[in-house]
Amino acid sequence: MQITVTVNGQAYTRDVDGRLLLVHFLRDELGLTGTHWGCDTSNCGVCVVWLDGTPVKSCTVLAVMADGRQVRTVEGLETAAGLDPVQQGFVQCHGLQCGFCTPGMMMTARWLLDHNPDPSEAEIREAISGQICRCTGYENIVRAVRWAAEHPATEEVSA
Amino acid sequence: MTTVESAPVGFGRMHRKEDARFIRGRGTYVDDVKLPGMLHGAILHSPYAHAKIVSIDTSAAEAHPKVKAVITGQTLAGLNLAWMPTLSYDTQAVLATDKVRFQGQEVAFVVAEDRYAARDALELIEVEYEPLPAVVDARRALDPDAPVIRDDKEGKTDNHIFDWEAGDAARTDAVFAEAEVVVAQDILYPRVHPAPLETCGAVADFDKVTGKLTVWTTSQAPHAHRTVYALVAGLPEHKIRVISPDIGGGFGNKVGIYPGYVCAIVGSIVTGRPVKWMEDRSENLMTTSFARDYHMRGEIAATRDGKIRAVRVKVLADHGAFNGTAQPTNFPAGFFHVFTGSYDLEAAHCSVTGVYTNKAPGGVAYACSFRVTEAAYLIERMVDILAYELDMDPAELRMRNLLRPEQFPYHCPTGWEYDSGDYPRALRLAMDLVGYEQVRREQAAQRAAMAGGQPPSTLTGIGVSFFTEAVGAGPRKHMDILGLGMADGAELRVHPTGKAVLRISVQSQGQGHETTFAQIVAEELGIPPDDIEVVHGDTDQTPFGLGTYGSRSTPVSGAAAAMVARKVRERARIVAAAALEVDPADLEWEKGRWFVRGDRESGKSIQELAMAAHSTVELPEGVEGHLDATCVYNPPNLTFPFGAYICVVDVDPGTGQVKVRRFVAVDDCGVRINPMIVEGQIHGGLADGVGMALMEVMAFDADGNHLGASFMDYLLPTSMECPSWELGETVTPSPHHPIGAKGVGESATVGSPAAVVNAVLDALKPYGVRHADMPLTPAQVWRAIQGRPFRTDLAISDD
């Protein structure tokens, strides 16, 4: 069936199978491979994107459910003004190692800061609790989100 | 936290060069590779743990309009590829022909136009099985009536794989015979899974015209994989290019060669088009390399006042259906014989028996440093159990027995030569950081209230673990995998303008090689790290080496990087001497330049010398020009990182729920190249320890059904289970490593499980609990309080 999905501000119209997962639509149909595929069961969160402004696990959302809606992915974090503070925070605080969970973590972090600009450590931990990281032990992810909270204006960094 | 101000020219905190692509979603992982005309493969897996294959009918699948090929064991047998060698000189079925030997074993491979169609077609394959009784419990694998799993091996009448021992049995027995105190304990290190968030996969592209095979794959050892493909498939090695692009975590899961890789290659050869195979999470958990599954009986001999004299261990090692462990040939139990740990013992002995069971093959994975994880857990549990029996403080007992700094280099009773260490200093630092006396006082008050009849709402436990690792395999004369010596190469090119390219044999799965290896060269040559490109993970572009696992990148390949930079420095010296018209012996080096001794102003920077080396400057007879160099580093010994960990937990006695309140980790990994990256690696390993101690296990039911085949059942730690880690460090350089580094990638995974388990069992001490096996889930803790902890590796049966 034909769907039109707006991803990072750009509308895409495609014919897709009704069963196609949003994560595969983004990756295979649109070539936006920053969103990853990790577990199929909504446990790991490497596939987190925004759907109409809310983080969802795109491995358990059908592409057709995004028809006529807005999706934001990691590729949409950086703007003409520069990197999102969350992206900068992950670099500054070594919030990533293999990088596989990073896009999903950053999408959740951006959503958290939009709704709670000054989150406590406990609030950050709760916000990312539905996502898994195997490399960082979460410590530096939490610090990265705090860094972004403390540096809300987009600044130039050498990333 | 310490922030990074500016990039150092050499060692120090520095932001990672690789981050720029990852934070933009621009990494290139295997599943991101998309080639023109690419097809997709999917594997049909066995639903049974043990069954005869009566027949396979692929006709309906082949008739699917989007299917391009269906490959079975019979197809592969025609190519002599139905079986492949494992990294332990055993064989493993690529696709089953005669029998399936574990649930999830690979039976058929479908190649189709897209990944959904490939999986649809799996449903159309009809396989008739004749189920057989399964060997699930390793402790029954050698029973006389146990079904024989490997009847493919001629003359095989049991499930025995190997016996191996280390240490002096007679001497150890003698010490035990006259010891004042002997304590024994059965300890299980259950089967767990590394579970990198990126599963395993490959894109194979065989070009019929050139005969060149290119394989993008999730490999921690691309060069070793290339050689194995050449040996297995008979393809000439120069016509095979293995590319390990960005890898989404490895932890040992991506060391071995899996049937899916081989099937993707065969699929590409058969169809003439590129074929991608990417496993899903259940496939990853059920079929790829697990870790541990060591059933250990430890015994410790001591004096009544707590001097440990000897340790004796018997291990039953469950290797699954094929002996697919990845470890040096002469060490079938890996480096388990470092189980003497950090203590000064009179004698030690271990014997290990490996057995086949109807479970997935593997055994060495999950940041285990070749079974050092099992060893560290064994000794650290045994020391705590001794403390329990002697009613001594476990930190004090350790302090009394730790090796003293003056004993290094230390020859341990099982044959290792520990390179360097100051153990008491590390333990004292950890105790200071956690405020050991204070926490013990708090616990004492709690226990006094309990003894006074007040029911406890929380039980506080304090767990200590002190580990010594043996990493950086390894000296070529002792260590090889499939005959390939464990040395690593490096090539360094310095361009005329002084920018450089370092090509290394190891490969990053998140460790940050592109940054740290540039820092090693920067430290040696004074070229800024940003001016050094690090190339890795592509066999056509890098020198041979055995890859990244066992914490060997820095100890082996890092040494190669330093040594090749020193060669370049010496070449630059000759060029400098020619340019400055002095004798090379009259030159002195300071970071980044050679200058004339006694005349500091008169010198040339490395950048000037790079240009001079490419210029018309007249060089002495026999000097070729350019600064480029290559080297191979063959380590003289392993390195021995160590650390002292202390964990504080709060246990709810009503529910058995454990909360990790604090975790202090003091690591000594020798010289730290980039402390930011070192600390990050330690954080990750500590989370592993919390996971294994409290949550993770791959258990099986009596029929061999896998009970942890998704992340709904295989529980990994999240941000909620992990505390904010508290780190400390000491630095004892390795005396034999060129830059004094020891490796750290697996230290925390090795050291932390015992600290968490010791803490929980310390909390349960008022209930008389001496030991319970991991994972200490609420159910296990609650049952331990009731005096009946269960075996965590089998389905829970209410006994």
Task: Read off the pLDDT of residues B704-715 as tens digits, 9 standing for 90 and up.
Answer: 999 999 999 999
What pLDDT shows up at residue B566? Answer: 98
What is the average pLDDT across B367-381? 96
Chain A residues whose beta carbon lies within 8 Å of the beta carbon of residue B693: none
Shortest CA gap B171–chain A (Å): 43
> Looking at the partner chain, which of A32, A136, A159 has a beta carbon nearest the beta carbon of B19?
A159
CB contact under 8 A, A78 and B724: no
C-beta separation of B194 from B253 below 8 A: yes
C-beta separation of A131 from A104 below 8 A: yes
Residue window 658-717, chain B: list those with CB within 8 Å of chain A. 676-677, 679-688, 710-712, 716
Amino acid of residue B73 = G
Optimal mutation site among B718, B724, B752, interface A, most CBs of chain A within 10 A: B718
Query: Residue B798 — pLDDT band, cuts 50, 70, 90?
Result: low
What is the average pLDDT across B340-351? 98
Optimal mutation site among A135, A147, A151, interface B, most CBs of chain B within 10 A: A135
> A54, exposed or middle or buried, with CB in 10 Å at 0-12, 13-18, 19+?
exposed
Chain B, nearest residue to A121 by Cα: B724
Map tokens 């009596």 to a residue.
Answer: B702
Chain A, nearest residue to B245 by Cα: A98
Stronger pLDDT, A46 or A158, i.e. the higher one: A46
Closest CA to A33 of B290, B27, B607: B27
At B439, list the tokens: 């926490």
CATH number of A85-150: 1.10.150.120, 1.10.287.980, 2.40.160.40, 1.20.1290.10? 1.10.150.120
Percent residues over pLDDT 90 in chain B? 96
- What is the count of residue pairs from A and B with beta carbons less than 8 Å apart? 187
Q: Tens of pLDDT along B680-696?
A: 999 999 999 999 999 99
At A53, list the tokens: 């402004």
CB contact under 8 A, A40 and B246: no
Chain A residues whose beta carbon lies within 8 Å of the beta carbon of residue B715: none
Chain A residues whose beta carbon lies within 8 Å of the beta carbon of residue B4: 92
How many Cβ atoms are within 10 Å of A19's Cβ, its own excluded?
10
Chain B residues whose beta carbon lies within 8 Å of the beta carbon of residue A77: 23-24
pLDDT of residue B1 exceeding 70, the answer is no
> Looking at the partner chain, which of A100, A133, A140 has a beta carbon nearest the beta carbon of B29?
A100
- What are the sequence ranges of the domains in chain A? 2-76, 85-150
Length of chain B: 799
CB contact under 8 A, A40 and B15: no
Chain A, nearest residue to B40 by Cα: A28
Give chain B's mean pLDDT. Answer: 96
Q: Tens of pLDDT along B136-164?
A: 999 999 999 999 999 999 999 999 999 99
What pLDDT shows up at residue A49? Answer: 98
What pLDDT shows up at residue A105? Answer: 98
Closest CA to B183 of B302, B294, B345: B302
DSSP labels, B725-750: -EEEE-----TTSTT-B---TTHHHH
Q: Tens of pLDDT along A109-150?
A: 999 999 999 999 999 999 999 999 999 999 999 999 999 999
CA distances from residue A13 to A10, A25, B114, B537 in whole angstroms, order as listed:
10, 11, 20, 37
What pLDDT shows up at residue B473? Answer: 95
pLDDT of residue B34 exceeding 50, the answer is yes
Shortest CA gap A68–chain B (Å): 24
C-beta separation of B720 from B656 below 8 A: no
Whole-angstrom distance, CA of residue B745 vs CA of residue B611: 38
pLDDT of residue B735 exceeding 90, the answer is yes
CA quadruple B472, B478, B482, B487: dihedral sign:
positive
Shortest CA gap A110–chain B (Å): 13
CB contact under 8 A, B198 and A36: yes
What pLDDT shows up at residue B620? Answer: 82
pLDDT of residue B117 exceeding 80, the answer is yes
What is the average pLDDT across B83-91? 94
Optimal mutation site among A24, A57, A94, interface B, most CBs of chain B within 10 A: A94
Chain A residues whose beta carbon lies within 8 Å of the beta carbon of residue B680: 94, 97, 135-136, 140
Length of chain A: 159
Query: Residue A157 — pLDDT band, cuts 50, 70, 90?
Result: very low
What is the average pLDDT across A83-101? 98
Q: Tens of pLDDT along B122-139?
A: 999 999 999 999 999 999
Alpha carbon of residue A53 to chain centroid: 11
Helix (H) or strand (E) holding A91: helix A85-92
Shortest CA gap A52–chain B (Å): 20
Shortest CA gap B366–chain A (Å): 11
pLDDT of residue B401 exceeding 70, the answer is yes
Chain B, nearest residue to A87 by Cα: B23
> Looking at the partner chain, which of A46, A87, A125 has a beta carbon nearest the beta carbon of B23?
A87
C-beta separation of A71 from A12 below 8 A: no
Is the Cβ of B29 closer than 8 Å to some Cβ of chain A? yes
Shortest CA gap B526–chain A (Å): 21
Is the Cβ of B516 closer than 8 Å to some Cβ of chain A? no
Chain B residues whose beta carbon lies within 8 Å of the beta carbon of residue A142: 719, 724
* Angle subtended at Cα B491 by Cα B490 and Cα B494, rounded to the nearest 5 degrees: 140
pLDDT of residue A80 exceeding 50, the answer is yes
pTM over 0.95: yes
What is the average pLDDT across B102-106? 98
Shortest CA gap B252–chain A (Å): 13
At B642, list the tokens: 């160590």
C-beta separation of B532 from B352 below 8 A: no
Residue window 243-302, chain B: list those with CB within 8 Å of chain A. 246-249, 251, 278, 280-282
CB contact under 8 A, B25 and A103: yes
C-beta separation of B566 from B526 below 8 A: no
CB contact under 8 A, A39 and B710: yes
Chain B, nearest residue to A128 by Cα: B719
Query: Residue B769 — pLDDT band, cuts 50, 70, 90?
Result: very high
Stronger pLDDT, B706 or B5, i.e. the higher one: B706
Whole-angstrom distance, CA of residue B391 vs CA of residue B374: 25
C-beta separation of B301 from B181 below 8 A: yes
Percent residues over pLDDT 70 in chain B? 99
Is the Cβ of B797 closer than 8 Å to some Cβ of chain A? no
CB contact under 8 A, A98 and B718: no
Q: Tens of pLDDT along B449-501?
A: 999 999 899 999 999 999 999 999 999 999 999 999 999 999 999 999 999 99
Helical H segments across B402-487, by residue range: 423-434, 436-451
- Just give the CATH number of A2-76: 3.10.20.30
What pLDDT shows up at residue B76? Answer: 97
Shortest CA gap A134–chain B (Å): 6
What pLDDT shows up at residue B450? Answer: 95
What pLDDT shows up at residue B4? Answer: 56
Whole-angstrom distance, CA of residue B32 vs CA of residue B436: 49
CB contact under 8 A, A137 and B687: yes
Q: Tens of pLDDT along A7-44?
A: 999 999 999 999 999 999 999 999 999 999 999 999 99
Query: Residue B774 — pLDDT band, cuts 50, 70, 90?
Result: very high
At B218, list the tokens: 């999730």
CA distances from residue B147 to B54, B98, B157, B294 in whole angstroms, order as listed:
18, 15, 9, 21
CB contact under 8 A, B23 and A24: no
C-beta separation of B120 from B37 below 8 A: no
Query: Residue B372 — pLDDT band, cuts 50, 70, 90?
Result: very high
Amino acid of residue B552 = R
How many Cβ atoms are within 10 Å of B585's Cβ, its own excluded?
8
- ipTM of the complex, rounded to two decimals: 0.97
What pLDDT shows up at residue B642? Answer: 98
Chain B, nearest residue to A135 by Cα: B684
Strand, helix or coil at B609?
helix
